[in-house]
Chains A and B, each alone.
Chain A
Amino acid sequence: MSVTPAVPGTHASRPQRGWYKRNEIAITPWLFLLPAMIFFAVYVIIPIGQSFWISLHEWDGLGEKTWVGTANYERLLGWGEQNMDRKFQVSFWNNLKWLVLYLLAIPAGLFIALFLNQTVTGIRFYKSMFFFPFVISQVVVGLVFSWFYLPREGLLNAILGLFGAGPINVLGDPTLATYGIIAAGLWPQTAYCMILYLTGLNAVDPEQVEAARLDGAKGHKMLWYVILPQLKPATFIAFVVTIIGALRSFDLISVMTNGGPFGSTRVLSFYMFEESLSEFGFRMGYGAAIAVVLFFIMLGFITYFLYSMYRDEKGAH
């Protein structure tokens, strides 16, 4: 073994810095991210994987899980010999109704925003009064509307009576109930879209509007060719929150009809809850399978949203 002669003092001339100090810029972001990442992983990311796993089992939430492979999905979607689960079918169609009709909140919000985008005295008061249904919890909105719809005591039938229309029991009629609940949901959602558009309208370039006016653009032409393109960011956000809101509908259904009458107002999110956590039993595996299907429906939208955001993010640099 050769002995290397000691070379004293070569390092001593440089000031000694700790490992952390030398790597500060590289380490700090991870230290700052760590708590949020741990929380998010434990409560959001990992449970998504676990739900997939559970959906391949039969499980009552307490005892042992029994592996059943894709049996839950076969029963749900009706692969092979079986027919598609009737309740699943109803829920799925109702989800579609929610998605399509909920989007009405966007034009309705735009309409109210255009109506309120003036500078008269007291307009700020009007804007906040139009907006504030959004702040009320969905549970209370549901209660308010179910009293509004009451066949005898409800205001709706009183108004219909004025026009000579017969009393209707909105929430008791399987063909009407879902639409009644969607209407209740549209109330706060329209308020949300309205505030997005009001903010957007505030930022519309006045010079472009004036220039278009000089060119003779008016009314809906002006709106379509000059204003709406400038409102694109507001429309995008309104679209995102409305789609997510439509697929998350649970509170209103639970409060207003609890899925009835005759299961006609179930949607996937409600049906999943019913299967896994209600008096009808604790079928966690089957519930998880429904959740996975809902997740994939949502994933389509999420991918599109993220892609648009990614494009903007790249465009910004």
Chain B
Amino acid sequence: MFPTPLEKTSRSWQISYQVLLPIMLIIWLLPLIAVANFSIKPEADFVNGNYWGLPSSIDALSNYGKVFFESNMPRYLWNSLFITIPTVIGAVALSCMAGFALGVYKFKGNLLIFFIFIAGNFVPFQILMVPVRDLTVSLNLYDTKLGLVLFHIAFQTGFCTLFMRNFIRALPFPLIEAARVEGIAEWRIFLYVVLPLMKPALAALAVLIFTFIWNDYFWAVVLTQGPDAQPVTAGITEFNSQFRAAYNLMSAGSIVAALPPVAMFFLMQKHFIAGLTLGAVK
């Protein structure tokens, strides 16, 4: 193990490590701690110049209550949910199939198609912006959730296919051959042999895509406007102009907007990290 395990080091370093750990963490999360502190302060604290001290009273309930009951925030949150969930399902479904095709079969152009999917995934969003917006407008999908969902599915398919194909590659191939010898149809092999083995990959991808799409901002501004279809990342700017300079409310709003992927991460940490670090180990 590197660095040297703590048990094998001097007593003084062991103690300083234990002290250093929480201090480092607090420094690392300082901006976030400040915002969390802002979000439970009463308005009076800001008037009196008590910005960084402890709150004079805990006003969390009224601050977060305002976010949920006196703004468009709940609508934006729903929009985010109705954009994110269908995208996750669509992208995972498409890429499962594409990954199966690229991972199991040998045919001309296999590697080329695979590399097109990877390359497309690295492309700057801006080169897609004008044509995709144009396409969405002409399909009458501008400012709708469906318009965003269709684009997100298509774009995420690149990354998901890379992920799925490499995962399927690592599965034991004799299993598929055995099924073929039995005369099982190819689509049944996909459904009953390969798919059950892909559960960890499905879970990992689902959490990752959920986070990516929830946090998307660029496409939300390009393809939607207003509270009918905009997700929470774009809606937060409208929220902030509603409560201009009310830092306690703006902080509470930001925390609410950021929370779902954070919750997802802490609940499904193992899958999340497995997905993110795929390829980091040979």
Chain A residues within CB distance 8 Å of chain B? 24-26, 28-30, 32-33, 35-37, 39-40, 42-48, 50-51, 54, 61, 114-115, 117-120, 126, 128-133, 135-140, 143-145, 147-148, 152-155, 158, 187, 192, 195-197, 199-204, 206, 209, 222-223, 226-227, 233-234, 237, 244, 247-248, 250-251, 254-255, 268-269, 272-273, 276-277, 284, 287-288, 290-292, 294-295, 298, 301-302, 305-306, 309-310, 313
Contact = CB atoms under 8 A, between A and B. Distances in A.
Contacts of B6: 118-120
A244 B26 CA distance: 29
Interface stretch (B17-25, B54-62, B197-205): B17-25
B159 to A, nearest CB: 11
Nearest to A288: B130
Given A32-B98, A119-B6, A25 B186 contact: yes
Q: Classify the secondary structure of B's interface with A.
A: helix
B241 to A, nearest CB: 13
A139 B273 contact: no
Interface string B235-271: 0110010000001001100110110011011100100
B126 A269 contact: yes
A139 B98 contact: no
B2 A269 contact: no
B69 interface: no
Given A137-B217, A233-B282, A155 B34 contact: yes
Contact of B236 (A143, A197, A269): A143
Interface in B73-124: 94-95, 97-98, 100-102, 104-105, 107, 110-111, 113, 115-120, 122-124
B262 A132 contact: yes
A135 B210 CA distance: 10
Contacts of A292: 127
Nearest to B262: A135
Contact of B105 (A25, A43, A226): A25
A40 B118 CA distance: 11
A312 to B, nearest CB: 9
Contact of B113 (A37, A46, A204): A37
Most buried by A among B132, B236, B277: B277
B247 A147 contact: yes
B105 A28 contact: yes
Nearest to A312: B282
A199 B281 contact: yes
B120 A44 contact: yes
Interface of B: 1-3, 5-6, 17-18, 21, 24-25, 28-32, 34-35, 38, 46, 51-52, 94-95, 97-98, 100-102, 104-105, 107, 110-111, 113, 115-120, 122-135, 150-151, 153-155, 157-158, 161, 185-187, 190, 211, 214-215, 217-218, 221-222, 233, 236-237, 240, 247, 250-251, 254-255, 257-258, 261-262, 264-266, 269, 272-273, 276-277, 279-282
Contact of A28 (B113, B129, B186, B262): B186
Nearest to B217: A251
A159 B101 CA distance: 56
Contacts of B190: 32
B4 to A, nearest CB: 8
Contact of A43 (B1, B35, B38, B154): B154
A138 B215 contact: yes
A136 B276 CA distance: 15
The 3 closest A-B pairs by CB, nearest first: A43-B154, A137-B215, A47-B131
Contacts of B5: 118-119
B201 to A, nearest CB: 16
Contacts of B237: 255
Contact of A29 (B17, B105, B115, B282): B105
Contacts of B279: 233, 237
B157 A36 contact: yes
B130 A153 contact: no
Contacts of B30: 148, 155
A143 B25 contact: no
A153 B3 CA distance: 40
A140 B234 CA distance: 11
B157 to A, nearest CB: 5
Most buried by B among A114, A131, A288, A291: A291
26 contacts: A26-B107, A32-B98, A36-B97, A36-B98, A42-B154, A43-B151, A43-B155, A46-B131, A48-B127, A118-B5, A119-B6, A120-B18, A130-B25, A136-B215, A136-B262, A137-B217, A145-B31, A147-B35, A248-B124, A254-B221, A255-B217, A269-B125, A272-B126, A291-B127, A295-B127, A298-B122
Given A26-B107, A155-B31, A36 B282 contact: no
Given A29-B107, A51-B128, A237-B279, A117 B98 contact: no
B1 A117 contact: yes
A47 B155 CA distance: 12
